[in-house]
Structure 1
Amino acid sequence: MSYNVTRTLLPWSCRFIRHLSPLCICNLTYHTMADAPPAGGRGGNKDGDKEWVPVTKLGRLVKDGKIKTLEEIYLFSLPIKEFEIIDQFLGTSLKDEVLKIMPVQKQTRAGQRTRFKAFVAIGDFNGHIGLGVKCSKEVATAIRGAIILAKLSVVPVRRGYWGNKIAKPHTVPCKVTGKCGSVLVRLIPAPRGTGIVSAPVPKKLLKMAGIEDCYTCATGSTGTLGNFAKATYQAIAKTYAYLTPDLWKDTTLTKSPIQEYTDYLSKNHKVVPGARAAAL
């Protein structure tokens, strides 16, 4: 089947998609569906141009300018439940990349139900990385949902040195390991100028995280791209989980932003019609 016919059939019902070859389906990218008209109803984004109305306390503080940086949120381990918070701090610098789009099928009484699973990585190439996975009936909807989930999973990346502490940090601070399924990924510090020595999937994630030099070691079924990407993401996220001696500093106990601005939230909080009451 030709490329043009494949693009034309994609927005239709999934009963037509089962006749497409897996090669045509898997080679689709985000840019293929970017110019498709937005679907209405659940999958559509008719209200995309509306102003952000935060529904969580953290979102209100971010929009009102009470929280200045993303690091204030990470310092107190506050859960981020609105992707607009990430857009507020990293919106212009964030870049997303579709790692893979794969068809998945479920056997039902009426036949096979085909959906599409999208893996999307997002990062600012300067110390922040996120990974999102979403399954949907349409490719564009799956990618859109994966980008939102990737923003919600953005974590800070700690970088360090291989030898002398000269110039900017360029590699991982220590050996870290991530595991998903049978795939085990180990990140090892490397000298400046080495580059990223790894397979294509971890290389993309490490570059988006802002790591310039790194050795990697991977075992297991690395052909499973989803588990390979998740294991790499888990290893990168662990860079801040290990406390090295230079982090053994006496820090004064301070209130979290939500505790600090409790009175402000109680005075300025307005119930938004139709908005879900936030637990936080």
Structure 2
Amino acid sequence: MKITPVQKQTRAGQRTRFKAFVVVGDGDGHVGLGVKCAKEVATAIRGAIILAKLSVVPVRRGYWGNKIGKPHTVPCKVTGKCGSVTVRMVPAPRGSGIVAARVPKKVLQFAGIEDVFTSSRGSTKTLGNFVKATFDCLMKTYGFLTPDFWRETMFIRTPFQEYTDFLAKPTKGLLIEAPAEKLEA
């Protein structure tokens, strides 16, 4: 996504390092984000790619309107936040395209979402927080349970239900009498 120089003030002066933001995705429902800081640009990029591959998450896609064809948008309204940046995604009809700023548009393309409306708030100039808020939004798409994910539950009978006939029968209780000698002592 971007490489930014970051500086730390030391006694000897400023120490410059490079921060790399990398997004990986297959365009079919998986996306990952990696952020790495290093002294050299190449090292930062390489580390960010590794971290992005390790943080790949599934992205749930859904429909807008009728369920014809493949899922093309987000399943419902989702909101992600990082720092002061808040990103909101709203499902869009087929053919709308990705209505978003430059940063979330790239992330959504990697995730395989074709149609979505987005709205963002806060300091979106901070690219790091903007990317992280978008990634947080995509992570939350699997954060809720819908009826199509409900598993058919097989209820087993409890021991009381299973042996209710046996327990309902009147049975003779065995009375054990203790010897009289032991009772007197």
TM-score range for the pair, normalised by the shorter chain length: 0.7 to 0.9
Structure 2: which 5+ residue stretches go unaligned?
A: 155-185
**Structure with the larger strand share:** 2
Query: Could you tell me which residue of structure 2 aligns to residue 151 of structure 1?
Result: 53
1:119 corresponds to which residue?
A: 21
Indicate the residue corresponding to 1:238 in structure 2: 140
What per-residue deviation string (whole Å, max 9, x for no partner) do you get for residues 245-268 of structure 1?
A: 22222368xxxxxxxxxxxxxxxx
Q: Following the alignment from structure 2 to structure 1, what is the Cα–Cα distance between the partners of residues 147 and 99?
A: 28
Cα 1:251–1:130, aligned 2, differ >3 Å: closer, same or farther? farther
Identity %: 77
Q: Shift in Å at residue 109 of structure 1? A: 1.3
Aligned to 1:162: 64
The DSSP-based 3-state class of the residue aligned with 1:215 is strand
Q: Distance in 2 between matches of 1:106 and 1:250?
A: 57
CA shift at 1:134, angstroms?
0.2
Q: Counterparts in 2 of 1:172-211, with a 5 A limit?
A: 172-211=74-113
Q: How many residues align?
A: 154
Cα RMSD between the aligned structures?
Answer: 1.0
Q: TM-score, normalised by structure 2?
A: 0.81
CA deviation string 1:55-78 (max 9, x = no partner): xxxxxxxxxxxxxxxxxxxxxxxx
Distance of 2:100 and 2:112 partners within structure 1: 15
Q: Secondary structure at the match of 1:229?
A: helix
2:39 maps to what in 1?
Answer: 137
The gaps in structure 1 that reach 5 residues or longer are 1-98, 253-280
Structure with larger RCO (C-alpha < 8 A, sep 6+): 2
Query: 2-side partners of 1:108 and 1:222: how far apart?
Result: 29
Q: 1:117 corresponds to which letter in structure 2?
A: K
1:109 is aligned to 2:19: no
Secondary structure (helix, strand or coil) at the match of 1:250 reads: coil
Give, in angstroms, the shift of residue 145 of structure 1. Answer: 0.2
